[in-house]
Amino acid sequence: MGLSWKEGVLTILLGAAAASGLTTLILFLVEATSILLPADTKFGIVFDAGSSHTSLFVYKWPADKENNTGVVSQALACQAEGPGISSYTSDPALAGESLRGCLEEALALIPEAQHRETPTFLGATAGMRLLSQKNSSQAERIFAEVARVLSQSPVDFRGASLLAGLDEGAFAWITINYVLGSLLTYTFSGEWARPPEATLVGALDMGGASTQMSFVPGGPILDASTKASFILYGSSYSVYSHSYLCFGRDEVLNRLLARLVQVRPARAGRHSGLARHPCYHSGYRATVPLAPLFESPCVHTSMPPGAAQNLTVEGAGNPGACVSAIRELFNFSSCEGQADCTFDGVYQPLMQGRFYAFSNFYYTFHFLNLTSGQTLDTVNATVWEFCQRPWKLVEVSYPEHASWLRDYCASGLYILTLLLEGYGFSEETWPSIEFRRQAGGTDIGWTLGYMLNLTNMIPAKAPAMKQAENYGVWAAGIVLVGLTLGAILGAAAVQLLWPRD
């Protein structure tokens, strides 16, 4: 039996709707593919030449999104073998050679065709700042050897430079807030917007030779030497930043030992002096050479004449005496009666907001299992209890941490002294500090902010929303297809059911 005229009409309409819908869907799938498939990737390399070691970081970002926010991610973190480059004064060539291992790892990760266009930087921090003060010619030779090795590598090497303390802190502040999306956000209304200032976080960094504090205060910054100004995505920021040279973990430990040493002239038949260290665990005993201790520019006293070349150190396990010794490293009296002063006469405006504490802040507290938001009372009790443990018990409990094990007590008590008595955190503001190694899968530090700044990847104006607009067009098209198909099918149904005259 043949089709009725109504069935024929319906068949034709449905066929047309199907053909139209399929054609439109193919077109939008092609557009969607161009949006959703990953774009070509670009890479950047930054060496962090710190006082105790050098680290390499590789960052990557989609090539067609260079001026958008939140697109840079960390692709590799590598720690170079050996100490920091400032340690190679006797053989500067080794400073450059020490970078080759990590550089080879980076080049293996980055496609060979992109090596020549990969911007590569080296920034040296407090270790080289100290060496530059002590012996500028030695520092220049080390920089020359580092530049020689990196210039010979198949990358776009853009220089090795000494990073000022102010910049080290400020770039770390950019890194954290960039990764957390606190500089720019995309709203539901389809516009870029500056997040509320309350979402900005401060940066607390501690390396081997210096420690930095950076944040946006609630009022003006009255000391121009502590002010870093940026225009990021069309918004102006005035960041307070200060670096305390000689207050990094390693230099504090050296200064502490040098201050505690009551060197005794070697007696007949003896080859070392003897000192009891309140920050070392009871039962700990070691012999250390004295000369390297007094070579640091941070130790302002010289080795006493007639002193033994070596020193035998015994632990006392006395956290109260340890805190007293640590306090002697600060000049708190220089800030008496001043609300905007920390120690050693350093200006600091009133703190506000949350803070991320990283590097040695994090590593020390992570070892002590204190990175989960514990109260200040719990933190204090935990550090003091650890300091009072006998050395034999500590050795057995933490065999994998042997190289730094004797120093975690002093480091923990130093961090508490610095944060509470130095920077001015209190029991009420303590919960605002988060101890973190990473944010958004990226290691926290100055390197990402440094690269973003030098490659101009953070524009002064908010980025255009071409890609988001494409998504909107795509979604609107899908809706239009649905409405069109619905209208056709509705019309067909009406024609089929409408009675003949």
- Closest by CA position to 205, among listed 178, 159, 167: 167
168 is catalytic: yes
**Residue 240 · residue 349 · CB < 8 Å:** yes
Q: CA 111 to CA 99: how far, in whole Å?
A: 20
Q: CA 128 to CA 84: how far, in whole Å?
A: 9
In the structure encoding, which two tokens stand for residue 174, read together? 């950019």
Say how many C-beta atoms besides its own lie within 10 A of residue 128's C-beta: 27
Q: CA 221 to CA 224: how far, in whole Å?
A: 7
Q: Which amino acid is at 432?
A: S
**Residue 327 · residue 279 · CB < 8 Å:** no
* Cα four-point dihedral sign 169, 173, 174, 175: positive
Q: Which amino acid is at 179?
A: V
Which is catalytic among the residues 31, 104, 168, 191? 168
* Cα four-point dihedral sign 177, 434, 51, 369: negative
Strand-pair partners of 122: 47, 160
Distances (CA, A) of 23 to 10, 30, 183: 20, 11, 42
Q: What is the CA radius of gyration of the chain?
A: 31
Say how many C-beta atoms besides its own lie within 10 A of residue 153's C-beta: 18
Q: Write down the residue that tokens 């770390």 correspond to.
A: 172
**Residue 356 · residue 365 · CB < 8 Å:** no
DSSP letter at 279 equals: T
Catalytic residues: 168
